[in-house]
Amino acid sequence: MSKIKVAIIGSGNIGTDLMIKILSLSKTLEMSAMVGIDPDSDGLSRARRKGVATTHEGVDGLLKMAEWRDIKVIFDATSAKAHIYNWEKIEPFKDKKIVDLTPAAIGPYLIPAINFEIDDSLRNVNMVTCGGQATIPIVAAVNRVAKVHYGEIVASIASKSAGPGTRANIDEFTDTTSAAIEKVGGAERGKAIIVLNPAEPPLVMRDTVFTLSEMADKEKIRKSIHDMVAEVQSYVPGYELHQEVQFEEIPESAPVFIEGLGLKHGLRTSVFLKVAGAGHYLPEYAGNLDIMTSAARACGERMVKSLS
């Protein structure tokens, strides 16, 4: 089967790591163009050295490239605001699809471990956020056993792994992740928090997931979580449980108050995760970026099945 030509917009850390993953790992995607706005960026320099066509004129430059005609999938690794502009430029080309790695959320949320069966007619899908990719599968794992009333996630990432794009997207991160906890994870109410950890040496990504669900068999929930971790590991090898799953029963006589839901009781489940990067371009501690690029590559490879 011939490979499908793709482009990446955004020559920063995420875009560069994704490019290297596609070049070295993908059997179905072929790098055709790397797009940035800084002609001296390391991402564009690496792309040129690897024989990939480049432009430093953003999406407008991409549309002028000879390679544009044959490109079928575009990965957007810029920022939420930039994605809105990029999609306005790309949307008229009906033979192109876009995988959005920003929190813009123009298209529906996609997390490979949960809703990988993409409608082939969709032309813009959103990868939520790094925290969402790491934690929402756990919320969904609990929800498939017992209805989740409330899901809260805390994503702690190394400050060194948060570049300008990540920092510019902090507000969108919390809004997009919270919404996806509900829409994809299945919780009635979701909340997301991100922490930039300044520790030296930098620590790998750590994620904490709390859910309050209806009462259910704890062992069934534990098994569902372990099964989900294995599913995520199939495309993010550095994803793992940091501690064993913990449970606490919240009795009806002592319910907790949840904003928007009122008083609730049931089973509180606490899950602690860590995500180590694969080291393709970024250091091991940048698991937050690695999980996004790994999930995006998996998404792109699924999308091209309808194009080949």
Q: Tens place of pLDDT for every residue, the chain, 308 residues?
A: 689 999 999 999 899 999 999 999 999 999 999 999 999 999 999 999 999 999 999 999 999 999 999 999 999 999 889 999 999 999 999 999 999 999 888 999 999 999 987 678 889 999 999 999 999 999 999 999 999 999 999 999 999 888 776 787 788 889 999 999 999 999 999 999 999 999 999 999 999 999 999 999 999 999 999 999 999 999 999 999 999 999 999 999 999 999 999 999 999 999 999 999 999 999 999 999 999 999 999 999 988 876 65
Residues 9, 156 within the same domain: no
Asked whether residue 281 falls in the same domain as residue 142, the answer is: yes
Looking at the fold, whether 123 and 136 belong to one and the same domain comes out as no
Tell how far CA 102 is from the center of its chain: 9
The boundaries of the domain holding residue 29 are 4-128+290-306
Tell me the pairing of strands 205-213 and 266-275.
antiparallel
Percentages (nearest 5) of helix, strand, coil residues in the chain: 40, 25, 35
Distance CA 10, CA 202 (A): 24
Residues 253 and 271 in one domain: yes
**Model confidence, pTM:** 0.94
In this structure, the answer to whether residues 143 and 40 fall within a common structural domain is no
CATH number at 94 reads: 3.40.50.720
Q: Which residues contact 138 (CB under 8 A, 6 or more apart)?
A: 209, 211, 225, 228, 229, 271, 273
DSSP state of 284: T
Give catalytic status of residue 130 as yes or no. yes
Residue 54 near residue 34 (C-beta atoms within 8 A)? yes
Question: Which is catalytic among the residues 130, 136, 192, 203?
Answer: 130
